[in-house]
Amino acid sequence: MLNEHLHPVWAAAARLEALHWETDRVSAHLHSSMRQALQAGETLEDVAGAANLTEVQVIARAGLSITDLPSVAFAPTDTGTATEEDPGAPAALEPA
Protein backbone atom coordinates (compact mmCIF):
# COMPACT_ATOMS: atom_id res chain seq x y z
CA MET A 1 0.00 0.00 0.00
CA LEU A 2 1.20 3.51 -0.75
CA ASN A 3 2.17 5.55 2.27
CA GLU A 4 2.47 9.31 2.56
CA HIS A 5 5.99 9.22 1.07
CA LEU A 6 5.29 6.89 -1.84
CA HIS A 7 1.99 8.38 -2.96
CA PRO A 8 3.64 11.59 -4.32
CA VAL A 9 6.18 9.42 -6.17
CA TRP A 10 3.40 7.34 -7.72
CA ALA A 11 1.40 10.48 -8.63
CA ALA A 12 4.40 12.17 -10.24
CA ALA A 13 5.25 9.04 -12.23
CA ALA A 14 1.67 8.72 -13.44
CA ARG A 15 1.61 12.37 -14.50
CA LEU A 16 4.92 12.02 -16.32
CA GLU A 17 3.63 8.98 -18.22
CA ALA A 18 0.52 10.93 -19.23
CA LEU A 19 2.65 13.85 -20.45
CA HIS A 20 4.85 11.50 -22.48
CA TRP A 21 1.76 10.06 -24.14
CA GLU A 22 0.43 13.55 -24.90
CA THR A 23 3.81 14.66 -26.26
CA ASP A 24 3.94 11.63 -28.57
CA ARG A 25 0.42 12.33 -29.82
CA VAL A 26 1.11 16.02 -30.50
CA SER A 27 4.47 15.22 -32.14
CA ALA A 28 2.76 12.79 -34.51
CA HIS A 29 0.20 15.46 -35.40
CA LEU A 30 2.97 18.03 -36.03
CA HIS A 31 4.87 15.62 -38.25
CA SER A 32 1.74 14.78 -40.23
CA SER A 33 0.83 18.47 -40.58
CA MET A 34 4.32 19.34 -41.85
CA ARG A 35 4.20 16.48 -44.37
CA GLN A 36 0.77 17.60 -45.63
CA ALA A 37 1.88 21.24 -45.93
CA LEU A 38 4.94 20.26 -47.96
CA GLN A 39 2.93 17.96 -50.21
CA ALA A 40 0.41 20.79 -50.73
CA GLY A 41 3.22 22.97 -52.08
CA GLU A 42 4.29 25.05 -49.08
CA THR A 43 8.00 25.81 -49.16
CA LEU A 44 10.35 23.95 -46.90
CA GLU A 45 11.56 27.30 -45.56
CA ASP A 46 8.01 28.37 -44.64
CA VAL A 47 7.14 25.05 -42.98
CA ALA A 48 10.38 25.13 -41.00
CA GLY A 49 9.66 28.69 -39.89
CA ALA A 50 6.12 27.84 -38.82
CA ALA A 51 7.35 24.80 -36.87
CA ASN A 52 10.34 26.66 -35.41
CA LEU A 53 12.64 23.94 -36.74
CA THR A 54 15.48 23.80 -39.24
CA GLU A 55 14.74 22.57 -42.74
CA VAL A 56 16.72 19.39 -42.03
CA GLN A 57 14.66 18.76 -38.89
CA VAL A 58 11.42 19.20 -40.86
CA ILE A 59 12.49 16.66 -43.48
CA ALA A 60 13.59 14.16 -40.84
CA ARG A 61 10.57 14.58 -38.56
CA ALA A 62 8.08 14.53 -41.41
CA GLY A 63 9.51 11.16 -42.40
CA LEU A 64 10.51 12.37 -45.84
CA SER A 65 13.63 12.36 -47.90
CA ILE A 66 14.72 15.27 -50.04
CA THR A 67 13.51 13.39 -53.15
CA ASP A 68 9.98 13.16 -51.70
CA LEU A 69 9.58 16.92 -51.80
CA PRO A 70 8.05 18.62 -54.82
CA SER A 71 10.39 21.11 -56.45
CA VAL A 72 8.08 23.90 -55.32
CA ALA A 73 8.90 23.06 -51.70
CA PHE A 74 12.17 24.89 -52.08
CA ALA A 75 12.08 28.65 -51.81
CA PRO A 76 13.55 30.46 -54.79
CA THR A 77 17.16 31.29 -54.17
CA ASP A 78 19.57 33.80 -55.63
CA THR A 79 21.18 32.29 -58.71
CA GLY A 80 24.32 34.32 -58.18
CA THR A 81 24.26 35.78 -61.68
CA ALA A 82 25.65 39.22 -62.33
CA THR A 83 23.16 41.83 -63.52
CA GLU A 84 23.46 45.20 -65.14
CA GLU A 85 22.19 46.73 -61.88
CA ASP A 86 24.84 44.87 -59.87
CA PRO A 87 27.82 44.11 -62.12
CA GLY A 88 29.84 43.06 -59.06
CA ALA A 89 27.56 40.12 -58.30
CA PRO A 90 29.24 36.74 -58.79
CA ALA A 91 28.40 34.94 -61.99
CA ALA A 92 26.66 31.56 -61.81
CA LEU A 93 28.88 28.52 -62.16
CA GLU A 94 28.53 26.81 -65.50
CA PRO A 95 29.06 23.07 -66.00
CA ALA A 96 32.51 22.19 -67.29
Whole-Å CA distances, 57 to 3, 51, 60, 96: 45, 10, 5, 34
* The predicted structure's pLDDT at residue 74: 59
Are 79 and 92 within 8 A, CB to CB? yes
The model's confidence at residue 69, banded by pLDDT at 50, 70 and 90, is confident
Residues 34-65: tens digit of each pLDDT: 999 998 989 999 999 999 999 999 988 988 87
Domain boundary assignment for the chain: 6-73
What's the maximum distance between 2 C-alpha atoms anywhere in the chain? 83
**Mean pLDDT over residues 17-23, rounded?**
97
